[in-house]
Structure 1
Amino acid sequence: MSDGAMSFETPEQVKLINSQIDRFIEQEVKPLEEEYPQFLGEDRERNMVDGDHRLVDEYLELRDKIHQKSVDAGFYTMAMPERVGGGGLNALEDTMVMEHLHNRDPDGYHTLIFDRLSVDHSIIPLYDDDYQREKYFEPVMNAEKHMTFGLTEPDHGSDPTWMDSTAEKGGDEWVINGTKAFISNSVEADFIMVHARTSGEDGDADGISTFLVDRDNPGWEIGKIQRSMGTKQGAQAINHFNDCRVPESQMVGEEGQGFRTAMTWVGAGRLHIPAKAVGISQWMFDRSVEYAENRKTFGEPIGSRQSIQELLVEMRVAIEQVRWLYRYTAWKMDRGEEYRWLQSAAKLQGANLWCDVADNAIQIHGGAGYMKSLPFEGLYRDGRVTRIYEGSDEIQKRTIARRFLDL
């Protein structure tokens, strides 16, 4: 692809990385699945958290082991630019690797190879500041610290520029007050990148600033741990900031320009979602085909029936559509061409793909598909949130509509 033309072949570098990841999973991750079996299978959700709905120490220990192995193998930061010590993968290469990683049995620990909540392009401004690079950036890149991202508020989800959180200057410190909701991994994070208004009016993108708040800051309090529909329990929580004081040195970038940092984080997720969706949907489709060929009722494989064939065809066609939509979008990003409406289209279609394919897989497997002994019901629950976070379906449609409506 060096000549700028879009290729429909998987790049050799991606093939190599994918094969290395497969080997890493076999050699490093699977032994940990035998060591920590309690977080797999039907009882994984209740074993992951304690009576207060916090992730148990054993699970955090497992996570940290895999993260450190991933750092040592060079996978953990491979999507970050080379100038900051990353692997320098471009958007197309990165998303193709994400698809491959998720195209396998979800009852495993392979997704813990990455922590894209912490290791994200939104932390690059930390690299350019000596203090922030040493205290936050490098520990994150080495999996020694984990970050969370505080943007969404109870009354402002899709409209973050109307946020109620404020930060006011008090001497040589900033004093943050406000509440953030649905903040993933905030219960266990070592620090939070929190956004608050420092100037301007509601609805202004300018005037929002970003701050780094450490876990031991007395002004940062974890409120209710929110119990979600999905399988990843202990992940989201309400976060309160009450006269939370941070020094000037912990403002990220320039004052009033934090919304750009926020959109960098959100934008990356919008392309990861369809890549992951294609990977796991392909896996669900392949398992459904096997079942349709082998499961017999009334003396015949259920795959011989038109109704089952229709479900499978819907799945297969939709997977291929989203696969090439997200890859084309990533290719446009790498070329520096206009891609934002395509990014929204890929996220919209990818999120719905995940939900629809999981629903069809459950239907094909019948009563067995509805049970926790098979992974489809869990994938159905996990997929549903992708239609909400990183911009809901409705927000994506609005972005796409603005591309062709001159209003």
Structure 2
Amino acid sequence: MTDTTSTATPAGMDFSESSELELVKSQIDRFIEREVQPLEEEYDQFLGDRGVENRLDENGYLVDEYLAVRDQIRKRSAGAGFLTMHMPESVGGGGMPLLEYLIILEHVNNRHPDGFHEMLLETLLTPALLPMHADDNLREQYFEPMMNAETTVTIGMSEPGHGSDITHLDTTAEKNGSEWAIDGTKCWITNSTFADAIIVFARTDGDDGDARGISAFVVTNENLGWTRGKAQRPMGDEDAGRIAFNHFEDCRVPEEQMVGTRGRGLVDIAMGSVGYFRLSIPARAVGRSHWMFNECVDYAESRETFGKPIGERQFVKGMLAEMRTDIEQVRWLYRHAAWKFDRDEGDRWEQSAAKLRGAQLWNNVADNAVQIHGGAGYVRSLPFEGEYRNARVTRIYDGTDEIQKLTIADAFLDL
């Protein structure tokens, strides 16, 4: 008869955090305390009720003083090994598996959102950019400076007329001698208002709807024909001053600025980053949501109405119970998907499921946090209304809720 009482953990299924990971988390806490918090005190005009207004110039772009603070933190983080700890050791990174990196990302986000602490990490830098390292010119000119936080490189994929349909790009690149001429417009590109370079995806071959035939190019400030349009003021403050329409008109780039193989930019680079991008959202969502949950618990214990703490009210208890349950659900959903990703066993639908639920979690917890705090939660003296606004975009970027549902359903439908 089989013994069903054994508590032995099956090989490879241990999700406990290693002592090494706990050490990294404590080192990051010390880094924030010693390197980040003094800058928050020195430049507190960029935080608080009026922080976002002070961060922006008359054109809606981030002011140089704020960007200088960002550069300081990023360079110190790179020097400490945090900025690139998730990149392979072969290119100078820390070789940290995705699962552990996302746990770090969750940890960094599990604190008051009004600060500079998230600047020490870089989710746009993923192993999918390794073709840049394989090319001598790209490695020296762009990849290594990016790893050392000397430059900011962003990714230009989204377009005004297509949204989530990235295989129907209007942006084209035509060969002209030893150069490529890029024409088109990109939108909603994170950090594009101040980036030193942008990796632009453009169709070089094939037809609309074909994932192959789309190539990637590094476009820099030195390439004529790249202009930034008016900064787009978003609903959330986190992205304020960071996004704008980017126009490319007969933008000439030399052949050596093509990233990877012609016609495989979307397949090899963009799609290779999907797992990192999509799973970073639920990791951040769990961190932010757990912090908000703890704040709500403290408030429910101290705030009294009609002679009793509101935590004794059934409706408040219900909200807290749902919040905490959903946090734990998403935590293990993203961690399991990342664990499988690291083992090369992951399915895209699992990453989509984690992203879908993570975005919903962040929105729902922020909404409940505002509700529990009542009028105090609605005004800007507390961070919850800001989180309510910041959370909304997570249901749109890196694949909308609807795209995630299609990906999940298509994995099982035989149609």
State the match for 2:186 in structure 1: 180
SS at match of 1:42: coil
1:155 to 141, 150, 161: 161
Cα deviation per residue 1:267-306 (whole Å; 9 max; x = unaligned)? 3110000001001100000000000000001110000000
Give the % identical residues: 59
2:114 to 107, 110, 118: 107
* Structure 1 residue corresponding to 2:86, chosen from 62, 79, 82: 79
Q: Is 1:140 aligned with 2:158?
A: no
Q: Which residue of 1 aligns with 2:394?
A: 386
1:20 and 1:83 map into 2 onto residues whose CA distance is 23
Q: Distance in 1 between matches of 2:95 and 2:10?
A: 19
Whether 1:94 and 2:88 are equivalent positions in the alignment is no
How far is 1:216 from its partner? 2.6
Pairs within 5 Å for 1:6-405:
6-117=13-124, 119-232=125-238, 233-260=240-267, 261-405=269-413
Q: What are the superposed Cα offsets for residues 16-43 of structure 1, whole Å, 9 maximum, x if unpaired?
A: 1100000111111111111111111111
Matching residue's letter, 2:362: W
TM-superposed deviation, 1:215: 1.2
- Contact preservation (8 Å) 1:267, 1:390: no
Conserved? CA contact 2:395–2:401, under 8 Å: yes
Cα pair distance change 1:3/1:16, threshold 3 Å: farther
How far residue 4 of structure 1 moved from its aligned partner, in angstroms, is 5.0
Alpha carbons 2:296, 2:372 under 8 Å: kept: yes
Contact conserved, 1:226 with 1:236, CA < 8 A, in 2?
Answer: yes
Instruction: Work out the CA distance in 2 between the residues paired with 1:323 and 1:160.
Output: 29
When normalised by structure 2's length, the TM-score is 0.96
CA drift of 1:8 comes to 3.1
Alpha-carbon distance in structure 1 between the residues aligned to 2:10 and 2:272: 28
Q: Give the aligned residue type for 1:351.
A: A
Contact 1:96 1:275 survives alignment (8 Å): yes
- Kindly provide the amino acid, as one letter, of the partner of residue 409 in structure 2: A
What is the CA distance between 1:265 and its match in structure 2? Answer: 2.6
Contact 2:123/2:276 (8 A) holds in 1: no
SS in structure 1 at match of 2:50: helix
RMSD between aligned alpha carbons? 1.1
Kindly state the Cα deviation for residue 9 of structure 1 after the two structures are TM-superposed: 1.4
The unaligned stretches of length 5 or more in structure 1 are none
**Per-residue deviation at 1:14?**
1.4
Letter in 2 for 1:396: Q
Q: Is the 8 A contact 1:6 1:331 kept in 2?
A: no
> What does residue 6 of structure 2 align with?
none
Residue pair 2:59, 2:230 contacting (<8 A) in 1 also: no
Q: How many residues align?
A: 405
Q: Scaled by the length of structure 1, what TM-score is found?
A: 0.98
Output the CA distance in 2 between the equivalents of 1:307 and 1:251.
Answer: 57
Aligned mates of 1:289, 1:376 — CA distance in 2: 14
Q: Judge conservation of contact 1:150–1:194 (CA < 8 Å) in 2.
A: yes
Distance 2:414 2:347 in 1: 18
Aligned partner of residue 167 in structure 1, secondary structure = strand
Conservation of the 8 A alpha-carbon contact between 2:123 and 2:280:
no
Query: How far apart in 2 are the matches of 1:52 and 1:63?
Result: 19
Deviations 1:198-217 (A, max 9, x none): 01000000000000111132
Cα displacement (A) at 1:72: 1.2
How many angstroms apart in 2 are the aligned matches of 1:335 and 1:79? 15
Q: Is the 8 A contact 2:187 2:245 kept in 1?
A: yes
User: 1:367 is matched by which residue type in structure 2?
Assistant: G
Q: Distance in 1 between matches of 2:15 and 2:259?
A: 39
Deviation (angstroms), 1:122:
3.0
- Partner secondary structure for residue 161 of structure 1: coil
Return the alpha-carbon distance in structure 2 between the equivalents of residues 331 and 149 of structure 1.
26
Deviations 1:215-270 (A, max 9, x none): 13221010121110011210110010000000000000110001121122333110
Question: Which residue of structure 1 aligns with residue 4 of structure 2?
Answer: none
Amino acid at match of 2:155: F
1:110-137: CA deviations, max 9, x gaps? 10101222x2223211000001000000
Give 1:91 deviation, angstroms.
1.2
Work out whether residues 87 and 93 of structure 2, in 8 Å CA contact, stay in contact via their aligned partners in 1.
yes
Q: SS of the residue aligned with 1:404? A: coil
State the distance in 1 between where 2:361 and 2:307 align: 32
CA distance in 2 between counterparts of 1:177 and 1:97 reads 39
Does structure 1 retain, via aligned residues, the 8 Å contact 2:337–2:346? no
